[in-house]
Amino acid sequence: MRWVGILSALWIGLSNTASSQTRIWADLPRVDSMCYQFQQLYTQIREESVLPDSARKLFSGIMFGLRGKFRTAEPFRLDSVRRDSLLRTAYFSFPLRNYSADAIGGSHGEGYRARGFDLFDYNVRGSHPAQDIFITDRNQDCIDDNTDRPADVLAMTSGVVLAIETAWTPGQEYRGGNWIWIYDPVLDGLWYYAHNNAVLVRPGDWVQSGQKISEVGRTGFNAYPARSPTHLHLMYLQLQADGLPQPQNPYEWLLTARNQ
């Protein structure tokens, strides 16, 4: 019965209290060293201090380590039938509070362009394997015009925070600005939330679907200029058998996500 309670909290997000999160995380494996390795590797990729082929090998090793940790925990031993059934339930939370799929940029998610994407070569440009979700912010002060408050970014699914960036400043060429990487052991994939203002989680934190993880900002080389409306940049990478990431369009998931 203990695992039944954990499953409910992990997958459906019925409970979001500090005490329940402490209980859940106590029953899950610690992955602090892998978080550190991921943070270090992603920084090296961004700074181009590691060759792409070497980065792929290091990345794959970290992902195999994560898989090994979580697949020893009972809630994550899912066959394809159980996983597909789960994804048809209320698994996903829409990642912006008070917003819905109408806020996704373009028509029918057409802003998603995965061709040419390479996570490991920072010189590769031109792809956009993500959905941008816009808030109403006419004066670009990162305050939602509808609520007169910052717009909350919510975790699409439950998972462990692998890495964050909080030190972006105007003038830096880094494209993501202040970002968050989260590993979802049920999907066996990575969520990337970029252009945040305030980041409210830390590496090693377990977050639940629908939990506030940050506030929408304008950080990042292309997101900061006035030509860019204020938005969340959301990317999902599905891990392959070799541990390497493959972009997957989250648009259909966004359409079925629970609004907060």
The full set of domain ranges for the chain reads 32-256
Q: Which has the closest alpha carbon to 134: 225, 198, 230?
A: 230
Q: What is the pLDDT of residue 14?
A: 37
Give the pLDDT of residue 236: 98
**Token duo for residue 156:** 């699409």
Q: How far apart are CA 219 and CA 229, in angstroms?
A: 12
Q: How far apart are CA 92 and CA 250, in angstroms?
A: 10
Q: What share of the chain is helix, strand, coil (3-state, %, to 5)?
A: 30, 20, 50
Q: CA-to-CA distance for 232 and 172, rounded, in angstroms?
A: 19
Q: What's the pLDDT at 173? A: 85
- Give bridge partners of residue 192 from the DSSP assignment: 181, 235
Look at residues 87, 216, 34 and name the one whose alpha carbon lies nearest to residue 141: 216
> In the 8-state DSSP scheme, what is residue 130?
S
CB distance 95 to 85 below 8 Å: no
The pLDDT value recorded for residue 20 is 44
Quote the CATH superfamily of domain 32-256. Glucose Permease (Domain IIA) (2.70.70.10)
CA distance 201 to 128: 25
pLDDT in tens, the chain (260 residues): 333 344 444 444 433 434 444 444 556 778 999 999 999 999 999 999 999 999 999 999 999 999 998 887 666 766 666 667 777 778 999 999 999 999 999 899 999 999 999 999 988 888 999 999 999 999 999 999 999 999 999 999 999 999 999 999 998 988 899 999 999 998 999 999 999 999 999 999 999 999 999 999 999 999 999 999 999 999 999 999 999 999 999 999 999 999 98
Which of 184, 235, 189, 236 minimizes the C-alpha distance to 209?
A: 184
The amino acid present at 202, given as its one-letter code, is R
